Structure 1
Amino acid sequence: MSTTNTTNHIGRKISRIRELRGMKQEALAIELGVSQQTVSNIEKSAAIEADLLAQVAEILGVTPEAIENFDEDKVLNIINNTFTSHDTSTLNAINIHPTFNPLDKLIEAHEENKKLYERLLEAEKSKVEYLERLLKGE
């Protein structure tokens, strides 16, 4: 079954790009300064004015040409061809095996915090000594 539209229905393309971006009609309506019903009507339209298309494209983070040339089959094809669990790069991304001991990293962080605290304590002591000398008039 093909999801390709035989016509260049701009409204459907806007709807699909909006959905892929995880944006609701209400959010697009707020950005455009119109009602949600107006966005619904835009998405039902086969064609829209160039200036409105440019506004929608900017909000969706694409160019007007990207909306006009959008083809869901091509997008899905790219996703299917670039994300496979047989690829070693995706296997490494999915099956994370750290090359370090997390407890060692935790102990290192704790030791670093102790050193920082000691330096802060020394700085505070020197400040107190300086202020005491100022009060004594030295």
Structure 2
Amino acid sequence: MGLNLQRIRRYLGVKQTTLAAELGMSQPEISRLERQKVIDGERLQQISDILGISPEVIITFDVNKTISTINASPAGQNKRVTGKPDLSEKIVELYERLLESEREKGKLMEQHGETYRTKN
């Protein structure tokens, strides 16, 4: 069952640290949980709620059926868990930071060029 959880978590793009934080656990505890053959009912329900899937999906994992179920669920449609930014938002943010950095670099080069010209 732990391996099923691991595969589903990875498919959803959820890191162990994110799941651990949501469950009030540590990352090593999640790693151990993913190696277990059985996950207790209460913990399984908590994990299912966080991932936005039913516990049965984790229990009866089948690659093709599970992917279809996840894609049809709210978690699969927006593939987002608390604290995990959308990839397109992250790309835009990084691009904006790159542009700002290039602008600052240009200003510094202009200032340095002015200083160099006045000294010669």
Query: Which bin holds the TM-score, normalised by the shorter protein?
Result: 0.5 to 0.7
> Of 10, 17, 33, which aligns to 2:24?
33
Q: Percent identity of the aligned residues?
A: 41
Q: Distance in 1 between matches of 2:3 and 2:22?
A: 19
Using CA pairs below 8 Å that are at least 6 residues apart, which structure has the higher relative contact order? 2
Q: Deviations over 1:77-109 (max 9, x none)?
A: 99xxxxxxxxxxxxxxxxxxxxxxxxxxxxxxx
Query: Hey, what does 1:49 align to over in structure 2?
Result: 40
Q: Return the TM-score normalized by structure 2.
A: 0.53
**What letter corresponds to residue 54 of structure 1 in structure 2?**
Q
Shift of 1:36: 0.2
Q: Distance in 2 between matches of 1:16 and 1:76?
A: 10
Query: Runs of at least 4 residues of structure 1 off by over 3 A?
Result: 73-78
Q: Any stretches of 5+ residues in structure 1 without a counterpart?
A: 1-9, 79-138
Q: What is the aligned length?
A: 69
Q: Any stretches of 5+ residues in structure 2 without a counterpart?
A: 70-120
Q: Distance in 2 between matches of 1:77 and 1:64?
A: 15
The 1:75/1:56 distance shift into structure 2, 3 A limit, reads closer
In proportion to residue count, which structure has more helix? Answer: 2
Q: Distance in 1 between matches of 2:15 and 2:47?
A: 13
Q: Distance in 2 between matches of 1:27 and 1:73?
A: 25
